Structure 1
């Protein structure tokens, strides 16, 4: 058990990276970059762009981050994921940046030097691609999609570039994350919205183990002690707010860590040089640091954003967070890389605007401060749902206030009424007939948005597509699913 004196130093603010004009959905560090070169980050955003960030030495002024390149295609759907693909000099393969998003495409852009046109486009997924992972040698790319599959793409050494080698289909809902196991390249972990983690044998495309324990969609995976290739432990995080530790070789559940107050979206393991441990982040706007030795909570970092979508660890031990405030926040345990006073002041001001109650410590340490109000979304059942009324509404807690989220308009009756009147006419929307057409109010100053639905449709897929189409927070998905279930089940 680590004593207080043995625990690593606290993270403090290092930098804030601005440029994106919408939620930054993913940030990833280039872990294969030689230590003699400046660290790089890549980010993906709902603004439809992917960006490359470079940290430069500024002498006595320390270090400074700058945007070094931007990939932006006209009318490109929003981006969800990015991954660095290391080069293979001997094999003649260049290094690439892989991007993926709502258009179901995976695109690989040359990196050194960066080029605006993709060298390869990987097609095959039928829905939003939400996560990517790459093998240490760059020969494999794994992808996760809302089409309920994970795919593995292999380098062919031809003009084709990468080709789909395996399609993993044993999921009952959207696949949120994938993790290639570097020591055992024929194994892949997947995290899915059916509350399960699965270990696939890529030689056979069959499930070796199914890890059960979470009570909500599993959103993130991370291998523990990544520098120790013999370590068989990994972590999973879920919408249920918990982090669970497993052994992928035995299939056993080892333990669980503390929890978040809301959905957990991202996990990353920290290198030993940065003090080691595990970082988690999610809908509560907090990054939590878990001790490598005993699994206890070392620190909570409050980020001035509603959601922290992604967290990544740099080789030097710093962490970067991609957030719903359109920014990337970087934190460090190294005093030589701490932010200047102007940046700390900006951080303080944003925290105050985010309704934090306590004063920021004078040393600029970004420790957690309690929120003025909860951020976890919830249905206001008593005041929003009228069981016997002609019009039924649902509200969502979002941005610290109740927002009217849905109004059920005419549709086939449910419950006893459904049995009495089986000839209820279907509703027409956009030239097609549906069992239901819900009207979803997302803002007071805009008309309600129609949500057509058939009884044989998958509620989660319909809700996810609706949220994606209208660029709504991911936290709406579960609420819409609950709303659909409440009003369509007989």
Structure 2
């Protein structure tokens, strides 16, 4: 495992880590006894939590009106990638979007006209993450090259963006997710090395690292408030963790999924978040109640959920699945409001536009679709 000393990762084998841990033990203590004690405390904590879990979200929402029929259709199909589209992100101008693919390309699109405004070919395939900067003047991407790179955008569509590429982040395993903070100057990344990290875009310096996951981190999402100092991450250890960016501390942790968490997304108010998992469920966690308050599942849904996003109001939850569909869930009542068909392979990403009028989905069928 990597132990960070003054931000420099030093690799120790598990035996060395255990030896170092044993050096700080009190008399009569062993690593095994401490493990038993921590497990016992964890069980007691769960019991206390259950005492406070008196009602589910759908019970509170019983008197709220049922949603009427939804009429959501495909309005645009964006074709241009030569392989699976793995990620996409909207620009704040509500018109442009960026996508990344297994073909090693990052494309900036005009969602109104379907024109490709910029295209960048990266030296590696599987570009698993991409993000638009808040100003709309840059995009970031990363993948199997273990790096997160930033490309400044210009009005000259013929300009060679590859020449302007700046490598900002460097992990010891693949980059699974990236997002800019409230400015273009800092970027958050998640990685297969089990960590998340905050980087300075200009200097490429590591500002803060976040250690707490015990397996690959697959997704992260920044809190939506202007002064958002927290973010949520989910990964292959079935955990969703809330982090404080200032201290680097894991301040809340949720562990109710039965398989990998593929995606996490904050509720528009910032008081809750949703997660999508390979266990074929999406779950809704309230940060103030410090617990799961809803599960979105049906017996007929047997394929893993790969991605989630909320409507602007927070009433709808859009979830992409491995059976090529997008399920639309009523967040409050916990029922399925609609199913969107159209993709011919796994849905890898769904994102609602900043003004809430459209939904974009990316798929392994090499296309992106815009729904409204």
Shorter chain as denominator, the TM-score bin is 0.5 to 0.7
State the alpha-carbon separation in 2 of the partners of residues 260 and 5 from structure 1: 20
| Mapping 1:184-263, distance limit 5 Å | 184-224=183-223, 226=224, 228-263=225-260
Q: Which has the higher contact order (CA 8 A, sep 6+)?
A: 2
Question: What pairs with 1:281-300 in structure 2 (closer than 5 Å)?
Answer: 281-300=276-295
CA distance in 1, matches of 2:305, 2:336: 21
Deviations 1:266-318 (A, max 9, x none): 0001113xx95100111111101001312210011115132111111121211
Q: CA deviation at 1:169?
A: 4.5
Change (3 A) 1:170 1:109: closer
Preserved CA contact (<8 Å) 1:223 1:234: yes
| Structure 1 equivalent of residue 98 of structure 2 | 98
Separation (CA, whole Å) in 1 of partners of 2:184 and 2:97: 21
Q: Deviations over 1:394-453 (max 9, x none)?
A: xxxxxxxxxxxxxxxxxxxxxxxxxxxxxxxxxxxxxxxxxxxxxxxxxxxxxxxxxxxx
Classify 1:160/1:200 alpha carbon distance in 2 versus 1 (closer, same or farther; 3 Å).
Answer: farther
Matched, 1:131 2:129: yes
> Distance between the aligned counterparts of 2:188 and 2:119, measured in 1?
24
1:167 corresponds to 2:173: no
What TM-score comes out, normalization by structure 1 length? 0.52
CA distance in 2, matches of 1:284, 1:149: 29
Q: Secondary structure at the match of 1:64?
A: coil
Matched with 1:108 is: 108
The normalised TM-score by structure 2 is 0.68
Give, in whole Å, the separation in 1 of the partners of 2:191 and 2:76. Answer: 33
Between the aligned partners of 1:151 and 1:66, the Cα distance in structure 2 is 34
Runs of 4+ with >4 A deviation: 1-11
Q: Using the alignment, how far apart are the partners of 1:243 and 1:334 within structure 2?
A: 21
Q: How many residues align structurally?
A: 281
Structure-2 change in CA distance of 1:139 and 1:265 (3 Å) = same
For structure 1, which runs of at least 5 residues remain unmatched after alignment?
A: 12-59, 89-94, 347-468, 472-490
- Rg: which structure is higher? 1
Q: Is the 8 A contact 1:125 1:145 kept in 2?
A: no
Deviation at 1:136, TM superposition (A): 3.2
In structure 1, how many angstroms separate the alpha carbons of the residues matched to 2:296 and 2:337? 15
Superposition deviation, residue 62 in structure 1: 4.4
Counterpart in 1 of 2:46? Answer: none
Q: Is the 8 A contact 1:177 1:192 kept in 2?
A: yes
1:205, distance to aligned residue in structure 2 (A): 0.6
CA distance in 2, matches of 1:86, 1:188: 16
Query: How big is the shift at 1:327?
Result: 0.2
Aligned 8 A contact 1:155 1:162 in 2 = no
Partner of 1:67: 74
Please tell me the root mean square deviation across aligned C-alpha atoms, in Å.
3.1
CA separation of 1:210 and 1:338: change in aligned 2, threshold 3 A: closer
Correspondences of 1:383-402 after superposition (within 5 Å): none
Query: Is residue 325 from structure 1 mapped to residue 323 from structure 2 by the alignment?
Result: yes
Corresponding residue of 1:42: none
Structure 2 partner of 1:150: 148
Cα distance, 1:3 vs. partner? Answer: 7.7
Cα distance change on mapping 1:61 and 1:196 into 2, 3 Å: closer
Deviation at 1:248, TM superposition (A): 0.9
Q: Which deviations, in whole Å up to 9, do the C-alpha atoms of 1:45-91 show, x marking residues without a partner?
A: xxxxxxxxxxxxxxx96431101111234x82111112222439xxx
1:294 is paired with a residue of what secondary structure? coil
- 1:266 equivalent in alignment to 2:263: yes
Asked if the contact 1:132–1:141 (Cα under 8 Å) also holds between the matched residues in 2, the reply is yes
Q: CA deviation at 1:160?
A: 4.5
For the 8 Å contact 1:10–1:333, the answer to whether it is kept is: no
